[in-house]
Structure 1
Amino acid sequence: MDLIRKILIGVEDRDLSSLESEYSSEQIDYHMHLLEQANYIEYSLKTKDRSILKGLTWQGHDLIDKIRNETFWNKFKADMKEKSIPVTLDLILPLIKDFIKRQLSISE
Protein backbone atom coordinates (compact mmCIF):
# COMPACT_ATOMS: atom_id res chain seq x y z
CA MET A 1 0.00 0.00 0.00
CA ASP A 2 2.97 2.34 0.39
CA LEU A 3 3.51 2.33 -3.36
CA ILE A 4 -0.16 3.16 -3.88
CA ARG A 5 0.18 6.16 -1.53
CA LYS A 6 3.39 7.30 -3.20
CA ILE A 7 1.82 7.05 -6.65
CA LEU A 8 -1.19 9.11 -5.56
CA ILE A 9 1.08 11.80 -4.13
CA GLY A 10 3.20 11.68 -7.29
CA VAL A 11 0.14 11.97 -9.51
CA GLU A 12 -1.08 14.95 -7.53
CA ASP A 13 2.37 16.57 -7.78
CA ARG A 14 2.67 15.53 -11.46
CA ASP A 15 6.05 13.95 -10.66
CA LEU A 16 6.56 10.20 -10.39
CA SER A 17 10.34 10.33 -10.97
CA SER A 18 11.19 9.71 -7.30
CA LEU A 19 9.52 6.28 -7.51
CA GLU A 20 11.90 5.03 -10.19
CA SER A 21 14.76 4.57 -7.73
CA GLU A 22 12.65 2.39 -5.41
CA TYR A 23 10.38 0.46 -7.76
CA SER A 24 10.60 -1.10 -11.20
CA SER A 25 8.64 0.44 -14.06
CA GLU A 26 6.57 -2.78 -14.16
CA GLN A 27 5.60 -2.37 -10.48
CA ILE A 28 4.69 1.27 -11.00
CA ASP A 29 2.66 0.58 -14.17
CA TYR A 30 0.85 -2.35 -12.55
CA HIS A 31 -0.14 -0.33 -9.49
CA MET A 32 -1.17 2.62 -11.63
CA HIS A 33 -3.39 0.24 -13.59
CA LEU A 34 -4.93 -0.96 -10.31
CA LEU A 35 -5.51 2.64 -9.22
CA GLU A 36 -7.21 3.37 -12.51
CA GLN A 37 -9.44 0.30 -12.19
CA ALA A 38 -10.40 1.42 -8.67
CA ASN A 39 -11.24 4.89 -10.05
CA TYR A 40 -8.53 6.76 -8.12
CA ILE A 41 -6.59 8.02 -11.16
CA GLU A 42 -7.09 8.58 -14.85
CA TYR A 43 -4.27 6.83 -16.65
CA SER A 44 -3.80 5.10 -19.97
CA LEU A 45 -1.04 2.93 -21.34
CA LYS A 46 -0.50 4.03 -24.93
CA THR A 47 2.37 1.71 -25.84
CA LYS A 48 4.64 -0.61 -23.97
CA ASP A 49 6.99 2.23 -23.04
CA ARG A 50 4.74 5.30 -23.08
CA SER A 51 1.82 6.07 -20.81
CA ILE A 52 -0.36 9.12 -20.30
CA LEU A 53 -1.27 10.29 -16.85
CA LYS A 54 -4.35 12.46 -16.77
CA GLY A 55 -4.61 13.03 -13.01
CA LEU A 56 -6.54 12.11 -9.89
CA THR A 57 -10.25 11.47 -9.93
CA TRP A 58 -12.58 12.95 -7.30
CA GLN A 59 -12.23 9.71 -5.32
CA GLY A 60 -8.44 9.90 -5.69
CA HIS A 61 -8.40 13.41 -4.26
CA ASP A 62 -10.61 12.25 -1.39
CA LEU A 63 -8.20 9.42 -0.57
CA ILE A 64 -4.97 11.40 -0.86
CA ASP A 65 -6.39 14.14 1.37
CA LYS A 66 -6.71 11.51 4.08
CA ILE A 67 -3.40 9.65 3.65
CA ARG A 68 -0.99 12.43 2.64
CA ASN A 69 0.25 12.97 6.21
CA GLU A 70 2.95 10.37 6.85
CA THR A 71 2.38 10.22 10.63
CA PHE A 72 -1.32 9.52 10.09
CA TRP A 73 -0.52 6.97 7.37
CA ASN A 74 1.89 5.09 9.66
CA LYS A 75 -0.66 5.04 12.52
CA PHE A 76 -3.31 3.75 10.13
CA LYS A 77 -1.03 0.97 8.84
CA ALA A 78 -0.05 -0.03 12.38
CA ASP A 79 -3.71 -0.16 13.41
CA MET A 80 -4.62 -2.35 10.43
CA LYS A 81 -1.64 -4.63 11.08
CA GLU A 82 -2.54 -4.94 14.78
CA LYS A 83 -6.08 -5.94 13.87
CA SER A 84 -4.87 -8.23 11.04
CA ILE A 85 -7.05 -6.40 8.53
CA PRO A 86 -5.96 -6.75 4.91
CA VAL A 87 -6.08 -3.36 3.23
CA THR A 88 -7.22 -3.57 -0.37
CA LEU A 89 -8.02 -0.74 -2.76
CA ASP A 90 -11.76 -1.29 -2.48
CA LEU A 91 -11.57 -1.20 1.34
CA ILE A 92 -8.98 1.52 1.94
CA LEU A 93 -11.25 4.56 1.86
CA PRO A 94 -13.95 3.10 4.17
CA LEU A 95 -11.24 1.79 6.54
CA ILE A 96 -9.53 5.17 6.68
CA LYS A 97 -12.82 6.96 7.33
CA ASP A 98 -13.57 4.51 10.15
CA PHE A 99 -10.05 4.96 11.57
CA ILE A 100 -10.52 8.75 11.58
CA LYS A 101 -13.84 8.42 13.41
CA ARG A 102 -12.22 6.16 16.02
CA GLN A 103 -9.32 8.59 16.45
CA LEU A 104 -11.75 11.46 16.97
CA SER A 105 -13.74 9.56 19.58
CA ILE A 106 -10.52 8.66 21.46
CA SER A 107 -9.54 12.30 21.76
CA GLU A 108 -12.94 13.47 23.03
Structure 2
Amino acid sequence: MIKNWAIIRDILIRLEATSTPNTALDANQFPEYPEQEVAYNMRLLSEAGYIKANILESKSGDGRIAAALARSLTNSGHELLDTIRNDTVWAKVQDTFKSKGMDMTFDLVIMLGKKIAENFLLS
Protein backbone atom coordinates (compact mmCIF):
# COMPACT_ATOMS: atom_id res chain seq x y z
CA MET A 1 0.00 0.00 0.00
CA ILE A 2 1.10 3.52 -0.66
CA LYS A 3 0.33 6.85 0.93
CA ASN A 4 -2.19 8.34 -1.51
CA TRP A 5 -2.37 12.10 -1.14
CA ALA A 6 -5.57 12.39 -3.20
CA ILE A 7 -7.29 10.05 -0.73
CA ILE A 8 -5.73 11.79 2.27
CA ARG A 9 -6.92 15.21 1.10
CA ASP A 10 -10.39 13.83 0.32
CA ILE A 11 -10.71 12.23 3.77
CA LEU A 12 -9.77 15.52 5.45
CA ILE A 13 -12.13 17.59 3.29
CA ARG A 14 -15.06 15.21 3.83
CA LEU A 15 -14.47 14.99 7.57
CA GLU A 16 -14.47 18.76 7.86
CA ALA A 17 -17.70 18.94 5.85
CA THR A 18 -19.66 16.55 8.09
CA SER A 19 -22.85 18.01 9.53
CA THR A 20 -22.04 17.21 13.16
CA PRO A 21 -18.82 16.84 15.15
CA ASN A 22 -19.61 13.17 15.75
CA THR A 23 -20.40 12.08 12.20
CA ALA A 24 -18.05 9.24 11.19
CA LEU A 25 -16.92 8.39 7.68
CA ASP A 26 -16.59 4.74 6.70
CA ALA A 27 -13.87 3.69 4.25
CA ASN A 28 -16.59 2.28 1.98
CA GLN A 29 -18.11 5.79 1.56
CA PHE A 30 -15.45 6.69 -1.02
CA PRO A 31 -16.63 4.77 -4.11
CA GLU A 32 -14.02 6.44 -6.34
CA TYR A 33 -11.20 4.65 -4.47
CA PRO A 34 -10.60 1.01 -3.46
CA GLU A 35 -11.89 0.53 0.09
CA GLN A 36 -8.61 -0.97 1.37
CA GLU A 37 -6.66 2.06 0.10
CA VAL A 38 -9.02 4.43 1.89
CA ALA A 39 -8.80 2.34 5.06
CA TYR A 40 -5.00 2.29 4.88
CA ASN A 41 -4.79 6.06 4.43
CA MET A 42 -7.24 6.55 7.31
CA ARG A 43 -4.88 4.46 9.42
CA LEU A 44 -1.89 6.60 8.33
CA LEU A 45 -3.76 9.81 9.20
CA SER A 46 -4.78 8.37 12.56
CA GLU A 47 -1.26 7.15 13.42
CA ALA A 48 0.14 10.59 12.51
CA GLY A 49 -2.41 12.30 14.77
CA TYR A 50 -4.34 14.14 12.04
CA ILE A 51 -7.64 12.34 12.59
CA LYS A 52 -9.34 10.29 15.27
CA ALA A 53 -10.33 6.95 13.80
CA ASN A 54 -11.29 3.40 14.65
CA ILE A 55 -9.32 0.88 12.64
CA LEU A 56 -10.19 -2.81 12.96
CA GLU A 57 -7.62 -5.22 11.59
CA SER A 58 -8.89 -8.44 10.00
CA LYS A 59 -8.38 -11.51 12.15
CA SER A 60 -8.62 -13.91 9.21
CA GLY A 61 -4.92 -13.62 8.37
CA ASP A 62 -5.55 -12.00 5.00
CA GLY A 63 -3.77 -8.76 5.97
CA ARG A 64 -6.84 -6.63 5.26
CA ILE A 65 -8.34 -3.86 7.34
CA ALA A 66 -11.77 -5.17 8.32
CA ALA A 67 -13.24 -1.74 9.08
CA ALA A 68 -12.06 1.86 9.15
CA LEU A 69 -14.08 4.75 10.56
CA ALA A 70 -12.71 8.28 10.51
CA ARG A 71 -14.44 10.05 13.42
CA SER A 72 -13.04 13.57 13.48
CA LEU A 73 -10.21 15.92 12.58
CA THR A 74 -7.71 16.78 15.28
CA ASN A 75 -6.34 20.30 15.56
CA SER A 76 -3.29 19.10 13.62
CA GLY A 77 -5.65 17.68 10.98
CA HIS A 78 -7.30 21.07 10.62
CA GLU A 79 -3.86 22.66 10.22
CA LEU A 80 -2.90 20.15 7.52
CA LEU A 81 -6.17 20.70 5.68
CA ASP A 82 -5.88 24.49 5.99
CA THR A 83 -2.51 24.15 4.25
CA ILE A 84 -3.69 21.99 1.31
CA ARG A 85 -7.40 22.84 0.91
CA ASN A 86 -6.91 25.57 -1.71
CA ASP A 87 -6.80 23.94 -5.17
CA THR A 88 -4.14 26.33 -6.49
CA VAL A 89 -1.83 25.80 -3.51
CA TRP A 90 -2.43 22.04 -3.64
CA ALA A 91 -1.59 21.85 -7.35
CA LYS A 92 1.61 23.83 -6.78
CA VAL A 93 2.60 21.58 -3.87
CA GLN A 94 2.13 18.47 -6.02
CA ASP A 95 3.95 20.00 -8.99
CA THR A 96 6.91 20.99 -6.81
CA PHE A 97 7.33 17.50 -5.37
CA LYS A 98 6.96 15.94 -8.81
CA SER A 99 9.48 18.28 -10.45
CA LYS A 100 12.02 17.68 -7.65
CA GLY A 101 11.44 13.91 -7.66
CA MET A 102 10.85 13.85 -3.92
CA ASP A 103 8.42 11.86 -1.80
CA MET A 104 5.66 13.76 -0.06
CA THR A 105 5.81 13.57 3.73
CA PHE A 106 3.35 15.21 6.08
CA ASP A 107 5.97 17.61 7.42
CA LEU A 108 7.28 18.60 3.99
CA VAL A 109 3.77 19.05 2.54
CA ILE A 110 2.82 21.35 5.41
CA MET A 111 6.06 23.33 5.18
CA LEU A 112 5.86 23.76 1.41
CA GLY A 113 2.13 24.48 1.43
CA LYS A 114 2.65 27.26 3.98
CA LYS A 115 5.48 28.76 1.92
CA ILE A 116 3.41 28.68 -1.27
CA ALA A 117 0.41 30.24 0.49
CA GLU A 118 2.68 32.90 2.00
CA ASN A 119 4.09 33.73 -1.44
CA PHE A 120 0.56 34.07 -2.82
CA LEU A 121 -0.44 36.34 0.03
CA LEU A 122 2.62 38.56 -0.29
CA SER A 123 2.62 38.88 -4.07
Q: Does 1:5 align with 2:9?
A: yes
Length-normalised TM-score, structure 1: 0.78
What's the CA shift for 1:83?
A: 2.4
Cα 1:100/1:84, change in 2 over 3 Å: farther
Q: Secondary structure at the match of 2:53?
A: strand
Distance in 1, matches of 2:39 and 2:81, equals 19
Deviations 1:46-81 (A, max 9, x none): 475444332000010011112112122112211222
Q: Distance in 1 between matches of 2:52 and 2:71?
A: 5
Tell me the C-alpha RMSD between the 2 structures.
2.1
Q: Does the CA-based 8 Å contact 1:80-1:87 persist in structure 2?
A: yes
* Larger strand percent: 2
Going from structure 1 to structure 2, the CA distance change for 1:46 and 1:71 (only over 3 Å counts) comes to: same
List alignment gaps of at least 5 residues for structure 2.
19-24, 59-65
Q: What amino acid sits opposite 2:77 in the alignment?
A: G
Q: Distance in 2 between matches of 1:90 and 1:59?
A: 11
**Residue matched to 2:34:** 24
Q: How many residues align?
A: 104
Which runs of at least 4 in structure 1 moved beyond 6 Å after TM superposition? none
Offset, 1:99: 2.9
Distance in 2, Cα, partners of 1:87 & 1:54: 24
1:85 shift after superposition: 2.7
TM-score by length of 2: 0.70
Q: Is the 8 A contact 1:38 1:90 kept in 2?
A: no
Higher helix share: 1
Identity %: 35
